[in-house]
Chains A and B, each alone.
Chain A
Amino acid sequence: MSGPSESLQRVIYASRATAGGELKVSEILETARRNNAALGVTGALLVSGPYFAQVLEGPPAAVEEIFERIQCDPRHERITVLEVAHPPARAFGAWTMAFAEEREDVSGPTLLDPAAAWGLLDRLQAALTNTAASQRLPG
C-alpha cells in the first residue's frame, strides 16, 4: 500500500484519556482496525499511562475522515497534532493499527510535545518489532 507522495498523508497526534472516563485500549484497537481496514488506512498507537500517540497514514481524504471521527471521541482530550506530512511511503503498511505500550515513567506527558513527533515514529517501530499485540493487515 504505497503510492506517489500526494496520495499518501500521515498525521501524528497525541492526547490523553479524559479524566474520570473509562477507556479500554482493546476497544479502541478493535474499532480502529475495522474502520481503518475499510478505508485503506494503516497506522500505530502508542499508549503510555493515560497518554496516547497515534499515527494514521493513507489516502488524504480517508485519513481526514478517520481523524475527524477520533476528534469527536469524548473519551480522550487535550489533543495535539504533532505532524501532518506527505511521506513517500507508509511506515506501518503492514498494520491496520499496530499497538505498543510504554511504561508511563518512560515517556508520559512528553508525548504531547510537538518536538516528540520525530522520535515517535522510531520509538513505535522499535516497540512493534517485539510486541505480540500488533496485528498484521489481513490479505
Chain B
Amino acid sequence: MTYAAKLSPAATDAGEPLGPIDETTGLLRREAFLGALDRRARQEEKRPFALLAIDLDRFKAVNDSLGHPIGDALLRAVGRRLRSCIRAGDLAGRLGGDEFAILLPDQGREEDAEALAARLVDLLSRPFLLEGHSAVIGASVGIAIFPEDADDADRLMRAADLALYAAKEQGRGLVRRYAPEMRARMEERRRLEADLRAAIGLGQFELHFQPQVSIAGGALTGFEALLRWRHPERGLVPPAAFVPLAEEIGLIVPIGEWVLRTACREATTWPEALHVAVNVAAPQFAQRDLFDVVAAALADSGLPAHRLELEVTETSLLHDTTRAIETCQRLRTLGVRISLDDFGTGYSSLTQLRDFPLDRVKIDRSFIAEIGTRGDSAAIVRAVTALGAALGLRTTAEGVETPEQLAELLAYGCSEAQGYLVSRPVPRDQVQEMIARLAQGQETAA
C-alpha cells in the first residue's frame, strides 16, 4: 500500500530565485511567498489564479502535549505532505507557526483550487507517526481567486484569510471560498468585539434574576443571576450573541468577576434565607485565582458564603479536572455551594457526579421539556433525581413551563424548579416585588 509521491520543490519557477526557504518545513518563508504573490498579482494581463490559506487544526494541542521536538517533526511532515500535493510551478509557503499558503499561478478555476484544497484537508487529517508517537491533526482551507475576489496581493491574501476564518468557524476540516459577505461579517464581529470591550466601563451590563422554588412547598429558595447586555443601539443583546465571543477573546474573566461581585452585592438586599446562583465559565476555572476572586467578592459585599452558589458546566470541569476539583473543594470549605449546570447535555458522566465536590445537580431543560411526551426523557429525569438523592445532592429542574411538568417532578422527588412557570428572569428593580408575590402565593396555597 505504498505510494511513492514525487515531491515538488517549494518553488520551481525557473525564471525566479526561490527565495529563502523555511528550514523546518522546506517551504518558502513568509516574505518570499508574499513577494512571489505580489509579483504574480502585478503581471500585466489579469489572468486568473488561485490562492489557498491553510491553518492546521489542533497543532497547538500536539505541540503542548508531546513537546516542541515532536511539534517540529510534525511541521516537517506537514511540509512534505503539502509539497507532495502541489505541481511544478505552484508555490507553497509557511506564513507563521502553523499557517501555510499555496499559490497556484496558472490555476484560476475554483473547481481546481477546491479539489486541491479537499486533497490537502484529507491528507493532513491522516495520522502522523513521529518519533514513536502517533498524532492526528487536521486542516482548514480558505480560497481566494484573483482578480474576482481581489485584484492586489494584500487584499487577495486577506480574502483567503477571511475564507479560512469562515472554514474554521463553521467547524474545521472544511474548505471555504471567499464571499463578499465574509468581509461584512468580520467587520460586524470587530465592531461587536470593540463594543464588548467597552461595555464594562460604560456600565452596559446588567443582571436579571430568575427565581428558584422548592417543588414540594413552593417556597422561594433563591435566584439565578443572569447576565444581560443593554447596548444603546443593539438593544438587549442575548447572552448567546456575545458570551462565546467574550470567551474567545478572554473578556469573560473580567465580565465573570463583575457578575460575581454584582450578584453578591445584590443578594445582601434579599431575605437571609435566599441564595444567589452565579454561572462560572470555563476560562474562569482556568484562571489560577478563581478562589481569591470569589473570596474577595464575598468579603467586599458581606454576603455569607453559604448564600452563594456557583453553577459550573461539565465542560468547564473537563479541561483541568484536578485543578477544578481542588478549587471547588477550597470554595466549599469556605461555605460556598457548587452546582452542576445543564446536566445531561455535555459529557455527562456518573463518575463526575461521584467524584466531584457538588451540592446540587441542575437537570437540563431539554429533558424537562420532554417529560410529558417522551418516556425516555422522563426516565432520565427520574434516574438523575434518584441518583442525586442517593449521593446526597439536591436536584433542580431547569426550564419548567407547565403545571403538568411540575407535578411529574414532584412525584420523582426533584427538590427545586426554575422556569417560566414560576417566572421569567426579571430586572433587579423587580426582585423585591417578586419575593413578595411568591411569599403571598405560598400563603394562598397554604
Same complex origin of A and B: yes
Interface: A52 (CB within 8 A): yes
Interface digits, B111-145 against A, CB 8 Å rule (1 contact, 0 not)? 00000000100110011111111101000000000
Interface bracket on B: 20 to 34
Which residues between 1 and 39 of chain B lie within 8 Å of chain A, taking CB atoms?
Answer: 1-5
State the Cβ distance, B304 to closest chain A Cβ, in Å. 50
In the complex where A68-B77, A68-B80, A79-B126 touch, is A73 in contact with B131 (Cβ < 8 A)? Answer: no
Q: Are B129 and A54 in contact (CB under 8 A)?
A: no
**Contact flag A32-B129 (CB < 8 Å), given A68-B80, A72-B84:** no
Q: Which residues of A contact B228 (CB under 8 A)?
A: none
User: Which B residue's beta carbon lies closest to that of A67?
Assistant: B129
CB contact list, A60-108 vs B, under 8 A: 60, 63-64, 66-77, 79-81, 84, 86
Q: Is A1 part of the contact surface with B, judged by Cβ < 8 Å?
A: no
**Taking the complex as formed, is A13 at the interface, i.e. its CB lies under 8 A from any CB of chain B?**
yes
B1 proximity list for chain A (CB < 8 A): 28, 31-32, 45, 52, 54, 70, 73, 75-76
A69–B132 contact, CB under 8 A? no
Q: How far is the CB of A106 from chain B (nearest CB, A)?
A: 21
The answer to the question of B81 belonging to the interface, with a C-beta cut-off of 8 Å to chain A, is: yes
Cβ of A77: which chain B residues have Cβ within 8 Å of it?
122
Q: Does residue A42 face the partner (Cβ distance < 8 Å to B)?
A: no
Question: Which of B77, B129, B131 has a CB less than 8 Å from the CB of A11?
Answer: B129
A9 contacts B by Cβ under 8 Å: yes
Given A68-B77, A72-B81, A77-B122, also A13-B127 (CB < 8 A): yes
- B126 and A71 form a contact (CB under 8 A): yes
Residues of B within 8 A of A13 (CB): 127
Residue among B4, B80, B84, B132 with the most chain A CB within 10 A?
Answer: B132
Contacts of B133 in A (CB 8 A): 84
Would B131 and A60 count as touching, CB distance under 8 A?
A: yes
Chain B contact residues, majority secondary structure: mixed
Mask: chain B, 63-103; 1 = CB below 8 Å from A; 0 = not: 00000000000000100110010000000000000000000
Q: Are A84 and B132 in contact (CB under 8 A)?
A: yes
Give CA–CA (A108, B122) in the complex, Å.
23
Nearest CB of A to B69, in Å: 14
What separation, in Å, do the CA atoms of A9 and B119 have in the docked complex?
Answer: 29
Are B129 and A74 in contact, CB atoms less than 8 angstroms apart? no
B132 and A86 contact, CB distance less than 8 A = yes
Given contacts A35-B2, A69-B2, A75-B3, contact A63 B81 (CB under 8 A): no
Q: A77-B122, A81-B134 are in contact. Are A69 and B3 (CB under 8 A)?
A: yes
Question: Which of B77, B80, B129, B131 counts the most chain A CB atoms within 10 A?
Answer: B129
- For B77, list chain A residues within 8 Å (CB): 68
Main secondary structure, interface of A, reads mixed
Instruction: Give the CA-CA distance A106 to B77 in the complex, in Å.
Output: 36
| CB interface residues, A 5-55, toward B, < 8 Å | 9, 11, 13, 28, 31-32, 35, 45, 52, 54
Q: How far is the CA of A89 from the CA of B141 in the complex (A)?
A: 43
Contact B132 A73 (CB under 8 A): no
A72 touches B131 (CB 8 A): no
Interchain CB contact under 8 A, B3 and A9: no
A29 CA to B133 CA in the complex, in Å? 26
Candidates A32, A60, A80; contact of B2 at CB < 8 Å: A32
B131 touches A74 (CB 8 A): no
Chain B proximity of A17: nearest CB distance (Å): 10
Q: What sequence of 0s and 1s flags, for each residue 395-437 of chain B, a beta carbon within 8 Å of any chain A beta carbon?
A: 0000000000000000000000000000000000000000000
Shortest C-beta distance, A33 to chain B (Å), equals 10
Q: Looking at the assembled complex, report how far the CB atom of A79 sits from the nearest CB atom of chain B, in whole angstroms.
A: 5
Contacts A54-B1, A72-B5, A75-B3 given; does A80 touch B127 at CB 8 Å? yes
Sample 27 A-B pairs with CB under 8 A, ordered by A number: A28-B1, A31-B1, A31-B2, A31-B3, A54-B1, A60-B132, A64-B129, A64-B130, A66-B2, A68-B80, A69-B5, A70-B1, A70-B2, A71-B123, A71-B126, A71-B127, A71-B128, A72-B123, A72-B126, A73-B3, A74-B3, A74-B119, A75-B3, A79-B126, A84-B132, A84-B133, A86-B132
New A-B contacts (14) at CB < 8 Å, excluding given A52-B1, A71-B126, A81-B134: A9-B132, A28-B1, A32-B2, A54-B1, A64-B129, A64-B130, A64-B131, A68-B129, A69-B2, A69-B3, A71-B128, A72-B5, A74-B3, A75-B3
Q: Which residues of A contact B (CB under 8 A)?
A: 9, 11, 13, 28, 31-32, 35, 45, 52, 54, 60, 63-64, 66-77, 79-81, 84, 86
